[in-house]
């Protein structure tokens, strides 16, 4: 049990003869990755993928990471020592020992720990703003009396009313797009999806051919509260592009308005 009252998960023992390979080229095949570890006894290579449907055709898209199983611990140790940070096709990969996938209970604990941390950070931010406002008033010779409320302050916290139709997604891979999330949530038929983009200088945007990184978060609006809760239940802890996303009920005060979403999508287009 941690200090804030949430349960903690003890570090998992690694799988000694299996490694996790990150930043794998999306076009790489399992056979090519196996050949990359030449001289080592590889027994299995698994590159996870998701299926995209376009019309009558189904396309497989790799997720950018892989698992490699070796015959022995020694082979896995040598792969970690010799190949971590090496260039494989167009990317420099990173390697670590693999661990067993999280259980449903571990996913729940992880989400609760994230929520507790987020609430603690928000409370600390509000406290610091209040202290700064009080210090400024005192410096101006007009410090408020104890318990007084400054109705003119712009640093008010949102009321925190839970949305009835929108979810808040965090821990997104920075390359995930609206199109990716449309595929992920397609069965729930979202009304709109907003993935806030990072602001970058124009010359950087031109250099990247107009491609922007996201901020690691997204908002997804559904047609009903029932569908919203189904999305939280089904997709919280789901892995997309190498990261397990955290899906929660959005707060109305922080949820973008539909017209703002449309303007952002038009500007991005």
Mean pLDDT computed over 198-221: 75
Confirm if 229 and 146 have CB atoms less than 8 A apart: no
Last residue of a domain, one of 77, 97, 117: 97
Residue pLDDT, tens place only, 237-249: 999 988 899 999 9
Residue 206 pLDDT class (50, 70, 90 cuts): low
* CATH for 223: 3.30.70.330
Contacts made by residues 154-161, CB under 8 angstroms, sequence distance 24+:
155/129, 155/130, 157/122, 157/126, 158/251, 158/252, 158/253, 158/254, 159/252, 159/253, 160/251, 160/253, 161/251, 161/252, 161/253
Whether 205 maps to a domain, the answer reads: yes
Please give the share of the chain, as a percent, with pLDDT higher than 70.
80
Residue 205 pLDDT class (50, 70, 90 cuts): low
Question: What is the per-residue pLDDT for 229?
Answer: 93
Residue 132 pLDDT class (50, 70, 90 cuts): confident
**Looking at the 3D structure of the chain, how many domains does it have?**
2
Question: What is the per-residue pLDDT for 159?
Answer: 57
Domain that holds residue 69: 18-97
Last residue of a domain, one of 97, 112, 139: 97
Question: What is the per-residue pLDDT for 143?
Answer: 45
Whether 110 maps to a domain, the answer reads: no
Are residues 166 and 248 part of one domain? yes
Residue pLDDT, tens place only, 22-63: 988 888 888 998 999 888 999 999 998 887 777 788 878 888
């Amino acid at each position: 049990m941690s200090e804030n009252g949430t349960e903690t998960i003890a570090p998992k023992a690694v799988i000694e003869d299996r490694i996790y390979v990150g930043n794998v080229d999306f076009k790489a095949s399992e056979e090519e990755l196996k050949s990359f570890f030449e001289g080592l006894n590889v027994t299995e290579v698994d590159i996870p993928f998701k299926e995209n449907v376009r019309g009558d055709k189904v396309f497989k898209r790799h997720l950018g990471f892989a698992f490699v199983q070796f015959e022995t611990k020694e082979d896995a140790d040598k792969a970690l020592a010799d190949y971590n940070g090496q260039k494989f096709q167009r990317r420099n990969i990173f390697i670590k020992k693999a661990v067993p996938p999280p259980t449903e209970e571990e996913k729940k604990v992880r989400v609760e720990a994230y929520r507790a941390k987020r609430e603690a950070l928000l409370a600390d931010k509000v406290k610091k703003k209040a202290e700064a406002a009080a210090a400024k008033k005192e410096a101006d010779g007009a410090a408020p009396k104890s318990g007084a409320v400054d109705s003119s302050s712009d640093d008010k916290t949102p009321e925190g009313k839970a949305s009835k139709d929108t979810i808040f997604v965090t821990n997104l891979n920075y390359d995930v797009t609206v199109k990716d999330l449309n595929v992920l949530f397609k069965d729930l038929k979202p009304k709109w999806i907003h993935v806030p983009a990072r602001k970058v200088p124009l010359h950087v945007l031109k250099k990247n051919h107009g491609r922007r990184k996201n901020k690691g978060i997204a908002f997804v609006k559904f047609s009903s509260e029932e569908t919203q809760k189904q999305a939280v239940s089904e997709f919280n802890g789901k892995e997309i592009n190498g990261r397990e996303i955290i899906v929660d009920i959005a707060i109305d005060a922080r949820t973008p308005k539909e017209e703002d979403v449309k303007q952002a999508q038009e500007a991005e287009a």
